[in-house]
Copies of this chain bind each other. A is one copy, B any other.
Amino acid sequence: MLTAGNMTVILHQTRSPENLGSVARVMANFGFSRLILSDPRTYNFRGAERLAVKGDAVLEAMAVAQSLPEALKDCVYAVGTTSRTQIEGRTALTPEEAVARLAEQSRRGRVALVLGGEQRGLSNEELAFCTDFLVIPTSEVQPSMNLAQAAAVLLYLCSREGRKPAEVAPSLEPEQQGAKMGTVRALGDRMRQVMLEAQFLNPQAPDHILRELERSLLRAELTQREAELWLTAFKHLGRAMGGSKGTPGKGAPSRGPDPKD
């Protein structure tokens, strides 16, 4: 069940106070309160309060992250919005599918809906930071929706999902909770480094293969413990390959895998 507690809205590269204010208002309309601006294009958001209309609490509690991966780091699942239905072999979810997945994944931890960037939408690279992406089907005559109106459609669907009778979710032990995207991202970065050193990835174009691997891990719905184990494993592999240049100041451990490493 999607609630104010487990659902985060991330606005990427926000530029307009009007959009920020309107999104804050519609979040308040539908009972969501956790808003993060990632890599905002301006910090001058005067005027947002006027449009927020009782969404002030959302604006006051708003957080700012330097980048999209940073904004996502505590989430176990994120879905980004775009107008492209196919990206690098992945297929867009419908809004209803995306919202069902947000609700399902929210049992593992925090989930995020990512909107932006205001002028050209989210890039392929930015969407690759998200677990899934969605498209709101629109007419060919005018496919591009206003950001605040897209937010209204999606948050309405999220609020409807939130009204369904909650399934009895067993409360999870910390280690059984879903892997945080920050940990998964660190794992991806480490995999890239180690696999480049190992000359497994082509240094001219490492991303395609790396993403396939990352996605297979995402599909596995790793627990936090598993993600930490993977991360530790790749750290060890890097060191074992003599990659001390990749992990300066860190000596090889004398013990086996340790999730807290």
Chain A positions within 8 Å of B, measured between CB atoms, are 22, 25-26, 28-31, 53-55, 57, 95, 136-139, 141-146, 148-153, 156, 159-160, 163
Contacts and interface: CB of A to CB of B under 8 A. Distances in A.
Most buried by B among A25, A54, A141, A149: A149
A153 B29 CA distance: 12
A145 B26 contact: yes
- State the number of copies, please: 2
A28 B141 contact: yes
A159 B57 CA distance: 33
Contacts of A153: 152-153, 156
Nearest to A21: B146
Given A153-B153, A153-B156, A156-B153, A31 B148 contact: no
Contacts of A30: 138-139
Given A137-B163, A163-B137, A28 B152 contact: no
A142 B22 contact: no
Most buried by B among A29, A95, A150: A29
Contact of A142 (B53, B95, B143): B53
A145 B55 CA distance: 11
Contacts of A141: 28, 31, 54, 57
26 contacts: A22-B149, A25-B149, A26-B145, A26-B149, A28-B139, A28-B141, A28-B142, A29-B138, A29-B142, A29-B144, A29-B149, A30-B139, A31-B138, A53-B142, A53-B144, A53-B146, A54-B142, A55-B142, A57-B141, A137-B159, A137-B160, A146-B152, A148-B149, A149-B151, A150-B152, A153-B153
A25 to B, nearest CB: 6
